[in-house]
Structures are given as C-alpha cells and as structure tokens.
C-alpha cells in the first residue's frame, strides 16, 4: 500500500467517521426531542396528578363536612323527636286534666242548680214568713190600738 492509497483509506475512514458522527448527532437530536417531549408529558402528568390530589382533598373535606352536617341533622331530628314525644305526653296530660275539669264543672253546675233551687225555696219561705210577720204585726198593732182606745 502506498502513500496515496493510505490517503484514500484515511479519507474514506474520515468520511465514514464523519457520517457516523452525523448519524449519531441526528440520533442524539431525535432522542433529545423525545426526552423533551417525555419531560413535558411528565410535567403535564405531574400537574394533573397535583390537581387530582387537590380535588381529592377538596372532595374529602366536603365529604367530612357532609358527614358532620348529616350527624348534626340526625341529632337535631332525635332531639325534635324527643321534644315531640314530651309535648305529646304533656298534651295527653292536659287533655286528661281538661276532661277532669269538665267533669268537675258539670258537678259544680249541678251543685249550683241545687243551691239555686234551695235559695229559691229559702226566699219563698222568707217571703211567706215576712208576710206572716207583717200580718202578725198588723194584728198586734190593732190589738195595741184597741187596748189604748178609751172604753
């Protein structure tokens, strides 16, 4: 191999190395583009994950608030039920008292009627006795007048 052949082999080797370098460079650029795309996808996925986590926290918070609200509503309903039961018992007691008072009022009405008739009888007897007394007084006055009169 002479010097000229080596130059051609050297030039071919440099050309092959240059082509390999260009191919490697293109491959690196393609891989860099792919890496940038994957990084962008990763950032987007991380953002979506963060948003989903925040949404999950908000939903859990709302769920807890709803549970507390339901608990307070149940407690209020139970208290209302107890109060209603107490009011029903009071109403039953009051109805019993009203019935008793009505019976007592009826008894008192009967007693009043009895007393009224007794008072009427008493008044009649007083009038009769008053008339008798008036009559007796007139006779007595007449008798006194006869005794005082000159004879």
Q: C-alpha 61: how far from its chain's center?
A: 22
Tokens of 144: 């006194």
pLDDT by residue (tens digit) across 57-105?
999 999 999 999 999 999 999 999 999 999 999 999 999 999 999 999 9
Q: pLDDT value at position 147? A: 86
Q: What is the percent of the chain with per-residue pLDDT over 70, rounded to a whole number?
A: 99
Handedness of CA 9, 10, 15, 18 (dihedral sign): positive
Tokens of 75: 């407690």
Between residues 147 and 83, which one has the greater pLDDT? 83
3-state secondary structure 114-126: HHHHHHHHHHHHH
Q: pLDDT value at position 31? A: 92
Across the chain, mean pLDDT equals 93
Q: What is the rounded CA–CA span in Å between residue 12 and residue 25? A: 19
Q: pLDDT value at position 72? A: 95
pLDDT by residue (tens digit) across 104-115?
999 999 999 999
Q: pLDDT value at position 6? A: 85
pLDDT band at 38 (very low <50, low <70, confident <90, very high): very high
Distances from the Cα of 31 to the Cα of 95, 96, 117, angstroms: 92, 94, 124
For residue 149, report the phi and psi dihedrals to the nearest 5 degrees: -70, 145
């Amino acid at each position: 191999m002479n010097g000229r052949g080596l130059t051609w082999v050297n030039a071919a080797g440099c050309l092959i190395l240059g082509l390999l370098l260009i191919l490697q460079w293109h491959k690196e650029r393609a891989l860099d583009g792919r890496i940038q795309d994957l990084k962008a996808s990763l950032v987007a996925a991380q953002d979506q994950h963060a948003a989903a986590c925040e949404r999950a926290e908000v939903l859990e918070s709302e769920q807890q608030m709803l549970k507390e609200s339901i608990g307070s509503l149940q407690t209020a309903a139970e208290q209302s039920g107890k109060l209603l039961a107490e009011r029903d018992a009071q109403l039953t007691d009051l109805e019993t008292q009203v019935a008793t008072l009505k019976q007592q009022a009826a008894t008192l009405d009967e007693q009043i009627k009895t007393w009224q008739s007794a008072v009427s009888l008493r008044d009649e007897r007083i009038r009769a006795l008053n008339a008798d007394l008036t009559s007796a007084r007139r006779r007595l006055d007449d008798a006194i007048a006869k005794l005082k009169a000159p004879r």
